[in-house]
Amino acid sequence: MLKSIYILILILFFASCQNPKPNDQQKVETDNPPVIKLGGSKQQSFGLEKLSDYALFQGELAKLNPANGVVPYDLNSPLFSDYAFKARFVKIPEGKTATYHSTEVLEFPVGTVLIKNFYYPTDFNRPKGTRTILETRLLIHEENGWKALPYVWNEEQTEAYLEITGDTKSISWRDTEGNQQQLMYNVPNVNQCRSCHLLGDKIKPIGPSARQLNKDYNYEAHKELNQLVHWQETGMLENLPSGELPKMVSFQNKNAPLAERARAYLEINCGHCHRPEGPAKNSALNLMVSEENPAAWGVEKTPIAAGKGSGGLKYDIVPGHPEQSILVFRMESTDPGIMMPELGRKMVDKEGLELVKEWIASMK
């Protein structure tokens, strides 16, 4: 009798496991999102299938006309990405605001979407002429943190599709000197997006800090306004202090001090990894502008790990000798095992390289 009761209990137990209650079933479905077809391949539904699904732009998508609540912005010193142009926008949920920070990226509320479109004009001397948009990267602030999603544009320039595995696109253009250039452009995958934006154990935006946003922008009706002031006046930003605000120089501004230009270039291109909380913290380099110790920039500093990436050189930066500096050696390389930054470029930034070399040559 007892054995029969025991068997009955076991049967009821396993039956309950195989037939979960409605709430349990709902949880199972949430933990295992359906696989859907995105951009020609089956992928998990990390985000919406098409860029247009977000309704961030109105009218013809390729014109990038922002919808209501989507605001364009620019940076003083932008990241180098194989000479690609960028069109940046931000959407902050209605009724919410970003919070000012003097040194770090602004604190954006949950629901914020940062939008960065990468494109190449056919002729760099006519940047507002014919262009080809290759990708749009979305950084979406969800309840559990930021999520980075790459969207790849089709050949017809009518739509961009989520491609979590990235893509490779062929692009050609005529540069400012009239030379024809061609490139197999890499769109990063989701993991590469994450690795660049990782700060500590969380994904964070890189560009929109107060120092980078502190510049005039030509808004509608050709009205130039300071971006930070405009954001505050329109309710997008709070706690903006009065008086002089921190400002990063444009590394392209040849009238600015050489050292400030070079430090700005290194921060935006290298500082998101080479800082105490960054993915490359083991290098012991801190390339943020706020760092005042020259040794932390690499001046007369030996690398933590010598090898192929050091090129047989002894110091990261040798004052007066860019040709003996590991920093320069890695910037002028396109070898994946040597070059820095190791992601986001296939070409050498000739202008950025010359700037850094000039800076090191001027050191005593």
pLDDT number for residue 199: 73
pLDDT number for residue 306: 66
Cβ neighbour number for residue 177 with a 10 Å cutoff: 8
What are the C-alpha distances in Å from 30 to residues 24, 25, 100?
Answer: 10, 9, 35
pLDDT number for residue 16: 38
Q: Which residues pair with 136 in a beta bridge?
A: 117, 151
Write out pLDDT tens, residues 334-355. Answer: 998 899 888 788 999 999 999 9
> Where are the chain's structural domains?
37-238, 258-362
- How far apart CA 144 and CA 142 sit, in angstroms, is 5
Q: Is 162 helix (H, G, I), strand (E, B) or coil?
A: strand
Cβ neighbour number for residue 139 with a 10 Å cutoff: 23
- How far apart CA 54 and CA 32 sit, in angstroms, is 23
pTM of the predicted structure, to 2 decimals: 0.84
| Entry field: residues in the chain | 364
pLDDT band at 28 (very low <50, low <70, confident <90, very high): very low
For 347, which DSSP code? S
- How far apart CA 46 and CA 191 sit, in angstroms, is 12
